[in-house]
Amino acid sequence: MTLHQQWVAFLTIVTKEVRRFLRIWPQTLLPPAITMTLYFVIFGNLVGSRIGEMGGFDYMQYIVPGLIMMSVIQNSYGNVVSSFFSTKFQHSIEEMLVSPMSPFVILSGFVVGGMVRGIMVGGIVTTVSLFFTDLNVQHAWITLLVVAMTSALFALGGFINAIFANNFDDISIIPNFILTPLTYLGGVFYSLDLLSEFWRTVTLVNPIVYMVNAFRYGVLGVSDVNVYASLAAIFAFTVVFFLLALWLLRRGTGIRG
């Protein structure tokens, strides 16, 4: 395929993915908006008003970046894992496998589709948050970079999960039992300074801590960890996940007889 043909094929997958999650918007776009509104009302307004400041900001402002990042992570992952598994389940993956599209194009299309949903939901949550607090983005480029890389990383995670999944249980195990606990324990709702030395050290093993803090640095200008080390780590993980997913796709793991 020529470069232009590959570009057309890539856009086709992205369009198909975006069309899919827009078609089922009550399942994909509405729930995060409602959930996050509840977080803002309960944790930000009701509980937060009694907590006072955290990291030099009122509690509502402090948790907003974490909640935005949580939405981005869950939706980027969720979009690709459910979409790619559905194409396997309905055998419509065969439409792509018989075509001359390279595994690189297929993977990129799904990942960008997941990123679009993650970033779109992030935008919705940001908009909702503006009803509760003011946000003055301190480092716009870092904010955008962290959102883009994190959504790409978790879209890739969803893709790899879907490759190995054989049934619908397999696509809910990682989000429910790994992703959600890691996100809640990833400093979304609290500063690591509140933890004892031991638990702080344990928490630093959680990769989501770095994403949440790098994003919080971009928005508020404060972070519990080194921001540039976080960016480097997210980038490295994204590259490793991309190469792994590409290798699995080329081999036909989970999709070819």
Residues of the shown chain interacting with another protein in the complex, contacts defined by CB under 8 A: 1-2, 4-9, 11-13, 15-16, 19, 23, 86-87, 90-92, 94-102, 252, 256-257
Distance CA 209, CA 97 (A): 37
Q: Considering only CA atoms, which of 3, 8, 15, 179 is closest in space to residue 81?
A: 179
Least separation in angstroms between CB 98 and another protein: 5
Distance CA 215, CA 150 (A): 10
Which lies closer to another protein via its Cβ, residue 8 or residue 46? 8
CB of 31 to another protein, least distance (A): 19
Q: Tokens standing for 195?
A: 């933890």
CA gap 206, 210 in Å, rounded: 8
Min CB(120)–another protein separation in Å: 20
CB of 147 to another protein, least distance (A): 27
Percent composition of the chain: helix, strand, coil (DSSP 3-state, to 5): 75, 0, 20
Helix (H) or strand (E) holding 102: none
Nearest distance from C-beta of residue 26 to another protein, angstroms: 14
Closest CA to 171 of 255, 88, 67: 88
